[in-house]
Amino acid sequence: MEKVQAMRRTSIESVQATSELFRELVEHLRQSRTQLREEWAQRITEAQLLTAMSKEEIFAEATSVYDNYMEALKTGTFEALQAYARNLSERIIPRGVETREVIGIVLLLRDVLARSLFAKYQADFALLNRILDAYEPAANRIAITVAVGFVQERERVIREQQEAIRVLSTPVLQVRERLLILPIIGVMDPQRARQLTEQLLRGIRTNRAKVVVIDITGVPVMDASVANHLVQTVEAARLLGAIVIITGLSPEIAQTLVMMGVDLGKMNTVGDLQGGIEEAERLLGYKVAITGEASDHSLRG
Amino acid sequence: MEVPILKQGPYLIASIQSALSDNDMVRLRDALVEQVGRFRSRGVIVDVTALDVMDSFATRTLRDLGRMIRLRGADTVIVGIQPEVAYTMVQLGLTLEDIATALDLEEGLALLERKTTAPGNETSSRGR
Residues of chain A in contact with residue B118, where contact means CB-CB under 8 angstroms, are: none
> Between helices A33-46 and A55-75, what is the axis angle to 10°?
130
A219 SS3 class:
coil
Q: Please answer yes or no on whether B83 and A242 come within 8 Å at the CB atom.
A: no
d(CA B22, CA A52): 68
Q: Please answer yes or no on whether B87 and A238 come within 8 Å at the CB atom.
A: no
Q: Please answer yes or no on whether A204 and B101 come within 8 Å at the CB atom.
A: no
**Phi/psi of residue A121, nearest 5 degrees:** -105, 20
Q: pLDDT tier at A6 (50, 70, 90 boundaries)?
A: low
Residues A153 and A113 in one domain: yes
pLDDT value for A10:
58
pLDDT value for A92:
84
Residues A58 and A145 in one domain: yes
How many interchain CB pairs under 8 A, A with B? 52
Cβ–Cβ under 8 Å, residues A207 and A180: yes
B interface test, pick of A195, A240, A284 with most B CB neighbours within 10 Å: A240
Query: Does A241 touch chain B if contact means CB atoms closer than 8 Å?
Result: yes
CATH at residue A256: 3.30.750.24
Mean pLDDT of B73-94: 91
Total of domains in chain A = 2
Mean pLDDT of A105-119: 88
Fold assignment, B5-125: Transcription Regulator spoIIAA (3.30.750)
Residues A120 and A16 in one domain: yes
Q: Please answer yes or no on whether B96 and A239 come within 8 Å at the CB atom.
A: yes
Among A137, A165, A193, identify where a domain stops. Answer: A165
pLDDT value for B124:
37
Among A165, A200, A217, identify where a domain stops. Answer: A165
Burial of residue B48 (CB within 10 Å: 0-12, 13-18, 19+) is: buried
Residues A6 and A131 in one domain: yes
Residues A279 and A192 in one domain: yes
Q: Across the interface, which of A198, A238, A242 has its CB nearest the CB of B87?
A: A198
Q: Please answer yes or no on whether B101 and A240 come within 8 Å at the CB atom.
A: yes
Residues A131 and A98 in one domain: yes
Residues A148 and A9 in one domain: yes
Residues A16 and A158 in one domain: yes
**Phi/psi of residue B77, nearest 5 degrees:** -130, 130
Mean pLDDT of A135-160: 87
Residue-range domain boundaries for chain B: 5-125
Runs of H (alpha helix) within chain A: 2-31, 33-46, 55-75, 79-92, 99-121, 125-169, 190-207, 224-239, 251-260, 273-284, 294-300
Which residues does A208 contact at the CB level (< 8 Å), separation at least 6?
A178, B103, B107
Mean pLDDT of A146-158: 88
Q: Across the interface, which of A202, A232, A235 has its CB nearest the CB of B83?
A: A202
- Between residues A262 and B82, the one the model is more confident about: B82
pLDDT value for A4:
60
Mean pLDDT of A11-29: 74
Among A126, A144, A165, identify where a domain stops. Answer: A165
Cβ–Cβ under 8 Å, residues A73 and A138: yes
Residues A147 and A178 in one domain: no
**Phi/psi of residue B102, nearest 5 degrees:** -145, 165
Q: Across the interface, which of A208, A232, A239 has its CB nearest the CB of B81?
A: A239
Q: How far is A238 from chain B (nearest CA, A)?
A: 7
DSSP string, A37-98: HHHHHHHHHHTT--TTS-HHHHHHHHHHHHHHHHHHHHH---HHHHHHHHHHHHHHGGGT--
For B14, the enclosing helix (H) or strand (E) is strand B11-15
A interface test, pick of B47, B77, B90 with most A CB neighbours within 10 Å: B90
Residues of chain B in contact with residue A225, where contact means CB-CB under 8 angstroms, are: none
**Mean pLDDT score across all residues of chain B:** 86
Mean pLDDT of B93-114: 89
Return the bridge partners of B44, or none.
B12, B76
DSSP state at residue A118: H
Query: Does A225 touch chain B if contact means CB atoms closer than 8 Å?
Result: no
Query: Does A177 touch chain B if contact means CB atoms closer than 8 Å?
Result: no
Cβ–Cβ under 8 Å, residues A28 and A120: yes
Residues of chain A in contact with residue B108, where contact means CB-CB under 8 angstroms, are: 241
Domain that holds residue A137: 2-165
Flag whether pLDDT at B76 surpasses 90.
Answer: yes
ipTM over 0.85: no
Cβ–Cβ under 8 Å, residues B79 and B48: yes
pLDDT value for B44:
94
d(CA B5, CA B45): 10
pLDDT value for B128:
35
Residues A205 and A88 in one domain: no
Q: pLDDT tier at A71 (50, 70, 90 boundaries)?
A: confident
Q: Please answer yes or no on whether A205 and B96 come within 8 Å at the CB atom.
A: no
